Structure 1
Amino acid sequence: MPRVHFHQQLAQLKDKLLAMAALSQQALESSVEAYLERDPAICQYVRENETAINMAQREVDEMSYELLAQEQPMAIDLRFILAVIKINGNLERIGDQAMSIAERTLELCATPAIDAPADIAGMREIARTMIRGALQALLEGDARLAASVIEMDDDIDRLNRLAHEQLIELIGNNAGVAEQALHTIIISRNLERIADYAANIASDVIFWIEGADIRHANLPMLATS
């Protein structure tokens, strides 16, 4: 009976983590929408959503630590709880990056619009797909799917490099748009980092399923500091 209760608590923990993930995904979607539409009101929504993300993170962490202290789980259950704690942190960092996008967008709203050579919508699509794939791998316990998410990181890295190069060239040709271009460079970098965090989540799923720490296995990872 105690083990049944414990596994019910693990299921509740997963539900809380998925609720946290939904908030982070919404932050990504809204922040980029604010950029594409140049909409300050959406930026304000992202700021309000950040408060909900921080509260959700604390709840997931608290429940995780309680389960570690009270239940003393072994093997795969222990790895699951440890993975949840790490995934939770990465989801919160996705929210931080979305907040940065919203803040930069507010700055852009105060400047004349330019035709910035950066595929921000395309980068969002890759980041969105990576996050969804990593969470699907968590739901299904699918290490192969998680590995495929990590491989996608190269695609957004390439778009980020291209945006950086083209925006720097734009500044060189027209110094008058330097402010807008620099904000867009940072937004592109924010999206690249969000994809890195999604790759981190996928690697945490692999750790849970296989007990393998792949952080130093020549795969794209991002330091948690």
Structure 2
Amino acid sequence: MSKHLERDLELLERDVLAQSSIVEDMIRTATRCLRDQSTEALSDLAALEPKVNAREVRIEEECLKILALHQPVATDLRRVATILKINADLERIGDLAVNIGERVRSMAELPVVPAPAGLDEMTSVTIEMVRDALDAFVELDADAARAVGKRDDIVDDLNHDVINELHAVMQAQPSLVEPAVHLFSATRHLERIADHATNIAEDVMYLVEGEIARHRHRQAGAEF
């Protein structure tokens, strides 16, 4: 590998990590607003979205420049391909955090729905998945990436419990149906964030091991 290619890849990866830091802050802000049912920090969340979008475009453009100028092969080509995929997942996670904020705003003028018991744990696991997936990318650790994917089932189970609890609330208190539906939608966005963290983990496994892992863990009898 030429020193110019190595330099460009390092700068690119640094940009991805900066993006991931912003996106993680967005998740924390959105979920804190959801838990507290407070709109106080939503303006901060909205202000970050255009920054994430602009960086996503810049990272993609840099990837395309590297492909055109350096024509990388083997591991270097996988690095660029992986960054392109991670970049797209991070931008989508940012969008989902904003979507959670929009659900909170819709709930602001409605009766307060008690937070479901599993919501805090679901939030914690999801944020950990995003952070650990990016750590696995930095460390080129396929085992750590594999462990991230295994936690997706935990989030799915917690989401199922949250949905069941919200259904019970709606049946017992019809006046809470509308805010409960918004909360239901918000937890669905949170569950999708965990899915994108799983995608990132699978991309890390591809980078390290050279084998496409996406969807493999969902096949019957297969391990992540």
Q: TM-score range by the shorter chain?
A: over 0.9
Please tell me whether the aligned partners of residues 93 and 193 of structure 2 are also in contact (alpha carbons under 8 angstroms): yes
- Normalised to the residue count of structure 1, the TM-score between the two structures is 0.94
Seq. identity, %:
32
Paired position in structure 2 for 1:223: none
Partners of 1:181 and 1:45 lie apart in 2 by 25
Counterpart of 1:15 in structure 2 is 14
Which residue identity is paired with 2:143?
R
Cα RMSD for the two superposed structures: 1.3
- After superposition, residues 55-74 of structure 1 pair within 5 angstroms as 55-74=54-73
SS at match of 1:218: helix
Counterpart in 2 of 1:172?
171
> Residue 26 of structure 1 corresponds to which residue in structure 2?
25
Corresponding residue number in structure 1 for 2:98: 99
* Offset from partner CA, 1:134-188 (integer Å, 9 cap, x none): 1111111100100000001011100101111111121112111001111111111
8 Å Cα contact 1:171/1:178 also seen in 2: yes
Query: What pairs with 1:174-213 in structure 2 (closer than 5 Å)?
Result: 174-213=173-212
Shift of 1:117: 2.3
Mind listing any 5+ residue stretches in structure 1 that lack a counterpart?
A: 221-225
- Which residue is equivalent to 2:39? 40
Q: Which runs of 5+ in 2 are unaligned?
A: 220-224
Say which is worse superposed, 150-159 or 115-124, in terms of deviation: 115-124
Confirm or deny: 8 A CA contact 1:108 1:180 kept in the other structure: yes
- Cα deviation for residue 118 of structure 1 reads 4.7
Summarize the Cα distance change of 1:68–1:161 in structure 2 as closer, same or farther, 3 Å threshold.
Answer: same
Deviations 1:53-112 (A, max 9, x none): 101101111101100111100000000100000000000110011001000001111112
**For the Cα contact (< 8 Å) 2:203–2:214, is it kept in 1?**
no
- Shift, 1:116, TM fit: 3.5
What residue number does 1:136 align with?
Answer: 135
TM-score normalised per structure 2: 0.94
Match of 2:122 in 1: 123
Task: Please give the alpha-carbon distance, in whole angstroms, between the structure 1 residues aligned to 2:217 and 2:148.
Answer: 15
Q: Deviations over 1:36-69 (max 9, x none)?
A: 2333231111111111110110111110110011
**In the comparison of the two structures, how many residue pairs are matched?**
219
Structure 1 residue 109 corresponds to structure 2 residue 108: yes
> In structure 1, what is the equivalent of residue 52 of structure 2?
53
